[in-house]
Every structure is written in structure tokens, then in C-alpha cells.
Structure 1
Amino acid sequence: MFSNFLIGLREGIEAALIVSILVAYVVKLGQQHLLPRLWAGVGLAIALSVGFASLLAITSNELSERAEQIFAGTTSIAAVALITWMIFWMAKRARFIKGQLQGEVDAALDKGSWALAIIAFVAVIREGLETALFLYAGISSSGGTSEPVIGALLGLLTAVVIGVIIYRGAVSLDLGKLFRWTGFALIIVAAGLLAYAVHEYQEAGLLPGEDNVAFDISSTIPPESWYGSLLKGVFSFRPVTTWLEIIVWWAYAVPVLVLFLKKTKRQAPQKQPLAQQAA
């Protein structure tokens, strides 16, 4: 649940930050009459994201067992790719996002009021589709329980509350530090998802090594225990793990963590409070 809460929180804060910047700038320009169209773009993006999540669930239910394993593994790899791209993109672009969005609003107002709705839609749909894909991968890796959904919803609700508070200027957060720490945590989550994808491919017969077990601690950490479920939900941990899963986990986690650490260290001297981003 925690990993999906973290994903919901991270994606939700990004979307809330974008919407807050757009709304604040439109109000600053005295164009409040355009806000309904902006919210229409946001609403459409949310609706399509929910539809995409439903499509993933329906598609998975209609597949055979082997096809479902391949589908779950493939979507998990896609989720890992998006998580990796997202954390590095935000580490690089967070400091410039306000100016970029305001420039897009200025250009949209020159083209017509509905162009503002398109900007809001495009800005939010990316976060929504990513969240839907992450959520499906999280549900698959945790055994199909409802906990990932609850965790993601709690994360999104928390992000909405934070977004409202930020917009009202009641709090100032260090944006760089926030995304830096969530980025570190998400890299660990992504490594677990990648190992889970390998496991699904092994069960489907696409990858070798299903019988080459590195360790079996199911007697110490039963999968049905609360702590076994917690480890599986947060880290996609399996008490019975193959050597290939371990190799893939470390081959992803170590270099990505090192690269992310180097990038965030270079960005660290330039801090941007979150409240100032939305102002």
C-alpha cells in the first residue's frame, strides 16, 4: 500500500502543482472567466485516466493465464520506464516549470480561450495515465488485492489537500527536496516492479531460470502473513526469489540511484519553495 500511496502522492503533487500554477496565473491576468474551461480540461484528463485504468483491468481479466503473466510483466516494465523518466525529468525541469507553463498560457490566450483547456488537459493527462499504469502494475505485483487502490487514492487525496494549501499560500515547501526524497523511494519501488516483471516472464516461459532459486525464506516470512504482504506491497518482495530477479534488481537499482544522486547533488544549490512555484 505504501508504494502506491507514494506514487499517488508524487503524481498527485505534480498535477496539483501544474494546476495551481495555471489557475494562479490566469487569476493574476484577470481572466477568471476562463477558469471553467481550464477545469474542463482537467476533468476530461481525469476521466480518460480512469478509463485507461479500467481498460487495463478489463484487458487483464480477459486474457489466459500465460497471456496475463506476459501482460502483467510488460506493463510493469512500462511502469518502470515511466517512473525512471519521471524522476529524472522532474529533477531537471522542476525549477523551470512555472515559467514554461506561464509562457504556454500566454500563447494559448493569443490563440483562443479553449487553447487553455488543451494545456490543462495535456498537463494533467500525462500524470493520470502514468498513475493508472503504476496502479495496475502495483495491483498485479501485490497479488490483486485492493490495498494498492486504497494506497493510491489516499496518496492522491493527500496531494489534493497539499495542492489547495499551497495555492492558498498557507505553506511553503522545498520542491527540490520533496521530489528528491520521493525519487529515491520510487527507484526502490521500480526495482521491485522490474524484478516482478522478470518473475512473470519466467513463469510464462519467456525467460529462463525459474528453478534457479537464490533463496527460499517462505518459512520465515510466510507470503500470507501481514509482514509478508507488507513487503510484497511495498517492494514487490517474494520469499522465493530467483537469481535472475536478484541480478535484475541490483542491475537497475544501483546505477539509477547513483545517477539520481549525482543529478540531485548538482541541482541541490538551487532551491525553489513550492508555494513560490504556484504564485
Structure 2
Amino acid sequence: MTNALLVVWRESLEAWLIVAMLATWLTANGEGRRGRIALAAGVCAGIALAAALGWALLDIRDDLTGDTLEAFQIAALIAAAGMITQMVLWMRRHAREMKSRLQSGLAEARRRNGLLGVALVAALAVAREGAETVVFLCGLAQSIDLGSMAFGAGAGFAAATATAWLANRSLARLDIGLVLRLSSFALLIIASAMTVAACDRLIGAGWLPPLIDPFWDSAWLIDDATAAGKLLADFAGYRARPALATFGVWALYWIAVTLLWRRR
């Protein structure tokens, strides 16, 4: 539930900030009520596109059985982990220029297609964030029950709305940049946990050799069967008795992320 809350909070917050940037640009360029209507239409269209993707993924999953279903679930975990990592690294590289890029794209779209272009830019921006959220939740759904995930997702959206409102009102001197940087590290930890979960399932299905199992036993310190250990396992990918292959995949993930982070 905590992972779903954090993922949806971060993605929803980014969507809210994008909408706020577009709304500010429209106001500054004399687009009043008609501009707001076009923006709202684009946001609704983006949400609808993301919802359609979610429905399609659920429909595909319901038609699968046996090894094919297991392969789909593992692929969902890997795709979600990869997209989270890519999103965090992309934001690290482009966050400072995102506003100018978005607004220049909006200006070009309005010049070419009027308010229809405004709606299209908004739809694509929101659909991108929504599609990422759908893929992330599809990956998380392989390790938590749907009820907890739905509750976490709803709480995450509410928290993102509150955070965006606070940032807009400048209450409590909220440093949105710091908030996004801290959440980036948390999302990378979640992505590493998804990678570990995918590795465990590959070993369980017999598609990846464990090499040495277990590689160590730290259950005496924190047992991942206890409440605290399970929370740490779900959030950060902790394993009290990991296979060597699992530890190797986890280590390679963080080595790759560290190198890419330093490059960017």
C-alpha cells in the first residue's frame, strides 16, 4: 500500500504541476475561459487514455494462465521498475528546462491548431503521466492485494492534490524541488524492490538459477516474515535469505543507477 501511495502521489503531483504550468501560460497569453475549457478537455482526454490502457492490461492479464501469466507478471514488474528508473533519471536531466519546453510546445500547438492544439498538448502530457502510473501499479499488483493497492492509490492522489495546492498557495514555504528530489530516491528504492521481486519469481519459475541459496541468513536481525521485515521487503526489496542471483541483480541495478545518476 505504501509503495502504491508513493508512486501515485509522485506521478499525480507531476501531472498537477504540468497542468498548472499550462494554465499559467494560457492566462499570461490572454486565453481566458476558452483556454481553460480546452485545457480541461485535454486533461479529461489524457485520463481517459490512461484508463483505457489500464483496462487493456487487465483484460490481457485475465486471458492468460499458467506459465504465460507468470511471464506476463514478471514482465510487468521489470517494465515498471525500468520505467520508474528512466523517469527519475530523465527528470534529473530535464527538470530545469521542462517548463520552457512544455510552454514552447504549447505555443507552437496553439499557433498551428488553435485551442485544439492546447487540448492535445494537455491530453498527451496527462496521458503520459497516467500511462506510467498504470504500468507502475500493474507491477505493484504482482506483490500486494488489489484492495490495499486501490486504497494506497487513492490516498496518493489525494496527497498529490494537497501538495500541489500547498505549492500553489506557497503555504508552509513548501520547497517542491526538494520534495521531488527526495521522492526520486524513494522511487528508485521501490524500483529496486520490483527488480528483486522479478528476480525471485524468475528463480521460483525455474527460469533463472539461484547460484547459491541462501547467500546469507540475516533472519536473526530482521526476519522478512515479521511485520517490520515484510514492510522493509515490500518497500526496499529486503530479503533475510536471498539467493546469490537475487543479490547480484540488486547490486547490478544500483551500480547502473549510480553511474547514470553521476553522468546526468
1:140 maps onto 2:121 in alignment: no
Pair 1:27 & 2:33 matched: no
Matches within 5 A, 1:235-246: 235-246=236-247
Q: Name the CA distance, whole Å, in 2 between partners of 1:240 and 1:157.
A: 37
Residue pairs, 1:148-163, within 5 angstroms: 148-163=149-164
User: Does the 8 Å contact 1:90/1:179 carry over to 2?
Assistant: no
State how far apart, in whole Å, the 1-side matches of 2:172 and 2:127 are: 26
Structure 1 residue 93 displacement after superposition? 1.3
Distance 1:190 1:45, change over 3 A: same
How far 1:210 sits from its partner (Å)? 7.9
Alignment partners' CA distance in 2, 1:105 and 1:201: 44
State how far apart, in whole Å, the 2-side matches of 1:93 and 1:174 are: 18
1:123 aligns with 125
Deviations, residues 10-35 of structure 1 (Å, cap 9, x unaligned): 11111111000001111222212121
The alpha-carbon distance between structure 1 residues 191 and 238, as it changes in their structure 2 partners (threshold 3 A), is same
Cα distance in 1, alignment partners of residues 246 and 224 from structure 2 = 19
| 2:210–2:246 CA contact under 8 A, matched in 1 | no
The residue type paired with residue 117 of structure 1 is A
1:228: how far off?
Answer: 4.1
Contact 2:35 2:115 survives alignment (8 Å): yes
- What is the CA deviation profile of residues 135-168 of structure 1, one whole-angstrom value per residue up to 9, with x for unaligned ones? 11112123x3522332222122211222233334
Counterpart secondary structure, 1:213: coil
Structure 1 position 240, deviation (Å): 4.6
Aligned partner of residue 31 in structure 1, secondary structure: coil
- Look up the SS of the partner of 2:215 in the other structure: strand
CA contact (8 A) 2:193 2:234 kept: no
Structure 1: 5+ residue stretches without partners: 265-279
Overall identity of the aligned pairs, in %: 30
The answer on 1:43 being equivalent to 2:44 is yes
Counterpart CA distance in 1 for 2:189 and 2:132 is 17
Q: For residues 187-241 of structure 1, what are the alpha-carbon distances to aligned partners after superposition, in whole Å with 9 as ceiling and x for unaligned?
A: 1111111111112222233222288332466796363x43344234312445553
Q: Tell me the TM-score normalized by structure 1.
A: 0.83
Question: 1: CA distance between counterparts of 2:77 and 2:243?
Answer: 18
Question: What do you get for the CA RMSD once the two structures are aligned?
Answer: 2.4
Number of the residue aligned with 2:215: 214
- 1:47 CA displacement: 2.0
Residues matched between the structures, number? 261
Structure 2: unaligned runs, 5 residues or longer = none
